[in-house]
Amino acid sequence: MDLPLHLAWSGLRTFDLGDDKLLLGMYRIVLAAGLREDCLQFLDGGLLVAHWPRLRKMVGRGVRTAWEDAFPPLRPRTGRAAA
């Protein structure tokens, strides 16, 4: 996957989505800097949910809170709900 210059203006622009490290790096960039259209184009909901426990540690608090508030499936499970 190639990110456009307005997202990946410095460094790596091509990401092998079969490599979890590169996938997480690309998602971090899009989550932090992407516009709505970028998120729709470059993020997959299933992959986002599956990798969110790791991704949430890679993004800033504002990004994490905004995404978890907008999409409840991303919220960490606590208490009995996690069991």
pLDDT (tens digit, 9 = 90+) per residue, 2-33? 999 999 887 788 999 999 999 999 999 999 99
Give domain status of residue 41, yes or no.
Answer: yes
Instruction: Measure the CA–CA gap between 70 and 83, rounded to whole angstroms.
Output: 24
Asked whether residue 1 is assigned to any structural domain, the reply reads yes
Look at residue 83 and tell me if it is in a domain: no
Is residue 70 in a domain? yes
Reported as a pLDDT band with limits 50, 70 and 90, residue 83 is: very low
In this structure, is residue 24 part of a structural domain?
A: yes
Whether 54 is in a domain gets the answer: yes
The pLDDT value recorded for residue 9 is 81
Q: Name the DSSP letter for residue 72.
A: G
Residue 59's domain comprises 1-75
The secondary structure of residue 5, as a DSSP letter, is T
Structure pTM?
0.86
CA gap 4, 49 in Å, rounded: 24
Residue 80 belongs to some domain of the structure: no
Q: pLDDT tens digits, residue range 58-70?
A: 999 999 999 999 9
If one counts the domains in the chain, the total is 1
The answer to the question of residue 82 being in a domain is no
Report in angstroms the alpha-carbon separations of 13 from 22, 24, 42, 64. 10, 13, 13, 23
